Copies of this chain bind each other. A is one copy, B any other.
Amino acid sequence: MAKTKKAPRPKAVTPRGFRDYMGAEVTERTEMLGRIAEVYRLYGFDPLETSAVETVEALGKFLPDVDRPNEGVFAWEENSDWLALRYDLTAPLARVAAQYRNDLPSPYRRYAMGPVWRNEKPGPGRFRQFYQCDADTVGAPSVAADAEICGMLCEALEAAGIERGDYAVRINNRKVLNGVMEVAGILDPADPEAFGRERGIVLRAIDKLDRLGPEGVRLLLGGGRKDESGDFTKGAGLTDEQAAVVMGFVEAGLDRSDAGRAPAAVLARLRDLVGESAEGRAGVDELEHIAELLAAQGFGPDRATIDPSVVRGLGYYTGPVFEAELTFEITGEDGKPRQFGSVAGGGRYDDLVKRFTGQAVPATGISIGVDRLLAALHATGKTKGEADGPVVVTVMDRDRLPAYQAMASELRAAGIRAEVYLGNPKNFGNQLKYADKRGSPVAVIEGEEEAGRGVVQLKDLKLGAKIAASATLEEWKGQPAQREVPRADLVAELGRMLAAHDA
């Protein structure tokens, strides 16, 4: 049967919002995650790798409506069930903690590293698949578990390459805020459901402190706030007195002086704010205990601190809340210096397994933003970004291919990355262009004449890079970056050249 019509060619493109990672982008992440995993392992955490696919039912929060689940996840129907790609690593942990609850040790310390998927509108630097790196402890009610996670986070950041002094792990507590709300009269321990609407608005307002500033938050506690576009957001309707109590908490973190940030001073300020609230006092006690445990393990205020300025996530977590910020400055997109900002966050959440089993199980954990942390390592020059390519053994004489392969083998056996040029060897200039594109540090050249004399030419491409693209072999041989060495000394001489590059 003759083909009468050709199908149009498919487009070679990544789907919208997805990307490919190549070379050093892959190895740097792998290495960084390996170093972090080693810290987690030392702390007794065990790896867990769930599959990318979960039932929509187990993921929760995303339920099929008319014909497909809400936005947010990538989902598809299978028989009459819906399956979806996980959107984080916590939902699968909840499923696992419930599914294997009789077999897992309790407490269960686990870490997980891997991609997650979000069916969101992609934007610059915003992808629909990205890596997360989480560590959680399930089944430990004591804040000793929170302190452990915070200390481990310090060590993980240092293992990744962030120097002490360049980061700060900051710890706050939702219970303290609850105590403040009790004092403000919008939380009644005897009737926990009352004032739910007001508290919701207060929590959302506090969560926006970074963006709106104290003035914006204050407006949302009262009558409401009109944004730049003129849209009006209704406020919680607190009286000035009530709002002042809540603002006391919001502003407790704003005293950034050394004295103001001393643990004893912070705890005293918080104790003052929660007054007689039992929950608030318990929250301050927890923070005090966390500070004590961290100090006992050598995590001083230069690494982890109690800090009421951490407000992000207070609406989501139920106890201690943590954040890791990088404190060095980078140049922002506007050309102005700014702090690098947050690279990890977490806290205590006690409803993890309850959806499945009906039984409350305490849990606490952190999630490190892998791409942001990698970006930070680039910003501080801690990763080279581009690793050296392999030594390229060029092909001057096609018949000597076995001899060239033997050279590459010898180099590899000495731990030197090496390959023989396997494109069409006819045009020697193309071989040099190839070596250049690979970022090869050195090219090995051995024609018939050299073979006859028992020597090889070693061309230092790092020195000679500029001329490589256009040079003919003859000019090229004249460059000072090229050396002739006995064939028998190939490995030793090449090793010396590479060591000189690294020096």
Q: Which residues of A contact B (CB under 8 A)?
A: 9-15, 18-23, 25-27, 30, 34, 37, 41-44, 46-55, 57-58, 60, 74-76, 78, 81, 83, 85, 94-96, 98-99, 105-107, 109, 115, 117, 128-129, 137, 139-142, 144-145, 147-148, 151, 292-293, 295-298, 355-358, 389-390, 392, 401-403, 405-406, 408-409, 412, 415-420, 422-424, 434, 437-438
Closest B residue to A109 by CB, please name it. B419
A126 vs chain B, min Cβ distance (A): 14
A23-B46 contact in complex given A15-B53, A74-B83, A129-B51, C-beta closer than 8 Å? yes
A10-B355 contact in complex given A22-B46, A76-B74, A412-B42, C-beta closer than 8 Å? yes
Interface centre among A10, A115, A129, A437 (most CB of B within 10 A): A10
Note all chain B residues with C-beta closer than 8 A to A44: 389-390, 392, 417-419, 438
A423-B106 contact in complex given A12-B58, A129-B53, A356-B12, C-beta closer than 8 Å? yes
User: Can you name 10 extra interface pairs (CB under 8 A) apart from A19-B51, A22-B48, A293-B405?
Assistant: A12-B98, A15-B83, A41-B417, A42-B390, A43-B417, A43-B418, A53-B128, A293-B401, A293-B402, A297-B408
A-B contact pairs, 25 of them (CB 8 A): A9-B355, A10-B355, A10-B356, A12-B98, A12-B99, A14-B99, A15-B78, A19-B51, A21-B48, A22-B46, A27-B41, A30-B34, A53-B117, A53-B128, A53-B129, A74-B83, A75-B76, A140-B422, A140-B423, A142-B422, A144-B401, A148-B419, A293-B402, A297-B409, A298-B406
Partner of A20, one of B50, B142, B403: B50
Interface centre among A53, A402, A408, A420 (most CB of B within 10 A): A53
Say yes or no: A50 contacts B14, CB within 8 Å: yes
Say yes or no: B26 contacts A148, CB within 8 Å: no
A48-B74 contact in complex given A420-B144, A423-B106, C-beta closer than 8 Å? no
Chain A to chain B: the 7 pairs with minimum beta-carbon distance, closest first = A44-B419, A296-B402, A12-B98, A44-B390, A26-B47, A140-B422, A18-B51
A37 vs chain B, min Cβ distance (A): 8
Say yes or no: A21 contacts B9, CB within 8 Å: no
Say yes or no: A422 contacts B148, CB within 8 Å: yes
Say yes or no: B49 contacts A20, CB within 8 Å: yes
Interface centre among A26, A94, A105, A106 (most CB of B within 10 A): A105
Note all chain B residues with C-beta closer than 8 A to A141: 424
Say yes or no: A417 contacts B42, CB within 8 Å: yes
CA distance A167 to B26 in the complex (A): 30
CA distance A99 to B19 in the complex (A): 12
Note all chain B residues with C-beta closer than 8 A to A20: 48-51, 96
Determine the main DSSP class of A at the interface with B: mixed
Say yes or no: B139 contacts A423, CB within 8 Å: yes
Note all chain B residues with C-beta closer than 8 A to A422: 107, 137, 140, 142, 144-145, 148
Say yes or no: B405 contacts A297, CB within 8 Å: yes
CA distance A12 to B76 in the complex (A): 19
A383 vs chain B, min Cβ distance (A): 15
Interface centre among A26, A27, A422 (most CB of B within 10 A): A422
A248 vs chain B, min Cβ distance (A): 31
Say yes or no: A406 contacts B297, CB within 8 Å: yes
A426 vs chain B, min Cβ distance (A): 12
Say yes or no: B23 contacts A47, CB within 8 Å: yes
CA distance A358 to B106 in the complex (A): 59
CA distance A94 to B50 in the complex (A): 28
A56 vs chain B, min Cβ distance (A): 9
Closest B residue to A57 by CB, please name it. B10
Note all chain B residues with C-beta closer than 8 A to A19: 51
Note all chain B residues with C-beta closer than 8 A to A9: 355-358
A451 vs chain B, min Cβ distance (A): 14
Interface centre among A42, A55, A139, A402 (most CB of B within 10 A): A42
Note all chain B residues with C-beta closer than 8 A to A94: 12
A49-B74 contact in complex given A43-B412, A58-B12, A417-B41, C-beta closer than 8 Å? no
A249 vs chain B, min Cβ distance (A): 28
Note all chain B residues with C-beta closer than 8 A to A418: 42-44
A391 vs chain B, min Cβ distance (A): 8
